[in-house]
A and B are shown apart, each in its own frame.
Chain A
Amino acid sequence: MDTIIKAENLKFEYRNDETDEVTEVLKGVSIDIKRGEFVAVLGHNGSGKSTFAKHLNAILTPTAGRVSVCGIDTADENKLFEIRRRVGMVFQNPDNQMVANIVEDDVAFAPENLGMPREEIRRRVDNALAAVNMSAFSKHAPHMLSGGQKQRIAIAGVLAMEPEIIVLDEPTAMLDPAGRREVISTVRRLNRELKMTAVLITHYMDEAVSADRVIVMDSGRIVMDGVPSQIFPQVERMHSLGLDTPQATELAYLLKKSGFNIDGTVLTVDDCISEISELWRNKVGADD
C-alpha cells in the first residue's frame, strides 16, 4: 500500500496579535498514512488534533516541516484546489456546513464550484446521496432533518468532490447516540466499500475501536500510534493522557487488576461478554 498522506516534522504556531505571544500548537508531527487506511486520531482538548486535521487540506499550512497529500505539497498555493478536491473535510456542527436550503443543492455546491458540466454534477450528487443512504431526502430542507441525517448530508457534500481522503473533525460531537451510530457506520462503509482513506478525529473511544489504526496526540505531538488492540489495553497510559478507554477494555482491565485471569485486550462489549462467560465457566468447572 502506498502512502497517501505524509507529514514530516510538521510544526505550527500562531502569534497572538495583542500580547505578541507565540503559541506552538504542533511541535513536530511526523506520520505516514497509507491509502485505504481508517485512522482514528485521539487526544484531549488542546492536544492539536483539530489543527493537525486542518493541515490535511491546506486550510492551515505548516510553520515548519512539510505535509504532502497524494504527492502534492500543501504549501503549494497553486495546487490549493487540487488538494481540497482530494481531501474532503467534515466538521462538527452540521448546520454550519450547509450552504443551501435543499439537500441536493447543498450536495451540488462543491461540483458547482469546480465548474463541472451539469450532467456530471447530477451524477455526482446522486452517487453521493446514495453512498450515505439519503437519496430519499434529496428534495428536503436540511433544517427539517435530524442531526445524524444532516451530518450524512455534510458527508455527501464532500463525497461529491469524489475525494480520495475524507477527514472528519469530531463529526459526532453534537449528535445523540443514534446519530453517532449512523455517521460512524457510514464512514466505515465508505472506507470498506469505496476504499476511501478516512481520518476520524474524535474523543469517543468506542468510535476509534473500529479503526485500522489509532493515533494519540498530546500537547502537539504524536505519543501513541498503533492498532486499537495495542493502544487501548494500555489503560493507565491512556488515563495519564486524559483519555478514556472503551468501557469493555476498562472493565477487563479492572477485573485483571483484581486478580481475575482475563484477556486485557478486549475492545468490544461482545468480546468482553464472551471473555467473562469463559471465566465463569472455568470457575464453575473448578468448583465441581
Chain B
Amino acid sequence: MMKDITLGQYFPGDTVIHRLDPRTKILVMIAYIAITFCVQNFWGYIVLAAFIVISITLSEIPPVFVIKGLKPIMVFIIITGLFNLFLTGGEVVWQAGVFKITKEGIRFAAFMVLRLTFLILGTSLLTLTTSPISLTDGMYRLLKPFSRIGLPAHELSMMMSIALRFIPTLMEETDKIMKAQAARGADFENGSLVQRAKAMIPILVPLFISAFRRADELATAMECRCYNGGNGRTSLHELKLEHRDALAGVCMVLILAAVIFLNIAVK
C-alpha cells in the first residue's frame, strides 16, 4: 500500500519537461492551480486534460505511474464527489427518502471530482519531473527576494527538501512497523472507525520516535559536512532561463486565455 504513493517522488529523466527551469515549473504550477479553479465548464477541462496529456507524453513518464498517484487520494475525491452530489440544493432529478440528487448536484460533483483530479495530476507531475533539490533551488530563488523582509527562504527550502527526501524512507518504516505490529496480533482492518484510529497509535508512536532520532543523526551528519545555513552557499545546478522556459510561460498564458474565453463563450 505504502509503495503506491507517488506524490513527492521523483522519476529521473532527461526530457524537455525535466530540463525546464524549476522556477518556471513552480510558476507554471501556480498558474495551473489557479486555472483549475477558474474553469467554469467542461470545455475548460478538455483544455487542461490536453495540457496534462501532452506534458506526461513529453516527460516520458509511464502514464500508469502518474495515475497511481491518484489512488491514495481516491477516497477523498469520492467522498467530496458524494457530498456535492447529495447535498447540493436545486432542481431534483432523483429522490429516495432523504437522499435526493439535483441537476446542480451532478454538475457540482463532477466539477469537484475533475478539479481535484487535475490538481493532483498536475502537482504530482511537478514532483515527478523535478528533483527535490532543484525544486528547492527554484523555490529558494523565487523566495530569496523576500528574505530581505525577514522571510527565512533558505530554511524553508531546506526543510522542504529534507521532508521530501524522507518520504520514501518513512513510508518504508511505516510499512515495517505495521507488519511488526500485525505479526503480534494488531488488527488494522476490522472494527469501528474509533477502534481503527486507536490501532494507529502503536504505529505512530514508534514512527515519531524514529523520525526524531533520524532528525538528530541527520543534523549531526549535516554539520559534519560543513552545513552552516544558507550564508555563502553555492549550488551544483546552474539555473538559467532558456527558450523552452519562455515557451512554457507562453503556453500557460494561452491556456489561461482559452479557459477564460470558454468561460465567457459557453454559458
Q: Hey, which bits of chain A sit against chain B, CB under 8 A?
A: 57, 59, 81, 84-85, 88-89, 91, 93, 95-102, 104-105, 108-118, 121-122, 125, 139-141, 143, 157-158, 161
Contact = CB atoms under 8 A, between A and B. Distances in A.
A91 B165 CA distance: 18
28 contacts: A59-B224, A84-B225, A84-B226, A88-B224, A91-B221, A98-B165, A99-B161, A99-B218, A100-B132, A100-B165, A101-B131, A101-B161, A101-B164, A105-B236, A105-B237, A109-B225, A112-B233, A112-B236, A113-B233, A114-B226, A118-B234, A118-B235, A118-B236, A118-B238, A122-B236, A125-B236, A140-B12, A141-B168
A158 B214 contact: no
B169 interface: yes
A163 B195 CA distance: 54
B57 interface: no
Interface in B208-245: 214, 217-218, 220-228, 232-238
Contacts of A157: 225
Contacts of A95: 169, 214
Contacts of B87: none
B133 interface: yes
A99 B225 CA distance: 11
A93 B173 CA distance: 14
B223 A59 contact: yes
Interface residues of B, number: 31
A101 B223 contact: no
Given A85-B226, A96-B214, A97-B217, A143 B168 contact: yes
Contacts of B169: 95, 143
Interface of B: 10, 12, 131-133, 161-162, 164-165, 168-169, 172, 214, 217-218, 220-228, 232-238
Contacts of B165: 98-101
Contact of B131 (A102, A121, A158): A102
A207 B217 CA distance: 24
A105 B131 contact: yes
Secondary structure class of chain B's binding surface, majority of residues: helix
A96 B221 contact: yes
Contacts of A139: 12
Given A95-B169, A113-B233, 20 more contacts: A93-B214, A93-B217, A96-B218, A97-B217, A99-B162, A99-B218, A100-B132, A100-B161, A101-B10, A101-B131, A101-B165, A102-B131, A105-B131, A105-B133, A109-B222, A112-B233, A118-B238, A158-B224, A158-B225, A161-B226
Contacts of A91: 217, 220-221
Contacts of B132: 100-101
Q: Which 7 A-B pairs have the closest CB atoms?
A: A96-B217, A108-B236, A110-B225, A97-B221, A115-B232, A89-B224, A105-B133
A110 B221 contact: no
A132 to B, nearest CB: 15
B155 to A, nearest CB: 14
A198 B172 CA distance: 33
Given A112-B235, A115-B234, A118-B234, A102 B133 contact: yes
B217 to A, nearest CB: 4
Nearest to A124: B236
Contact of B218 (A89, A97, A102): A97
B178 to A, nearest CB: 18
Contacts of A85: 226
A109 B158 CA distance: 12
A118 B172 CA distance: 34
A57 B224 contact: yes
Contacts of B10: 101-102, 141
A89 to B, nearest CB: 4
Contacts of A57: 224
Contacts of B161: 99-101
Nearest to B216: A96
Nearest to B218: A96
B121 to A, nearest CB: 21
Nearest to A158: B225
A102 B223 contact: no
A114 B231 CA distance: 10
Contact of A81 (B214, B228, B236): B228
A117 B235 CA distance: 8
A59 B227 CA distance: 13
A112 B234 contact: yes
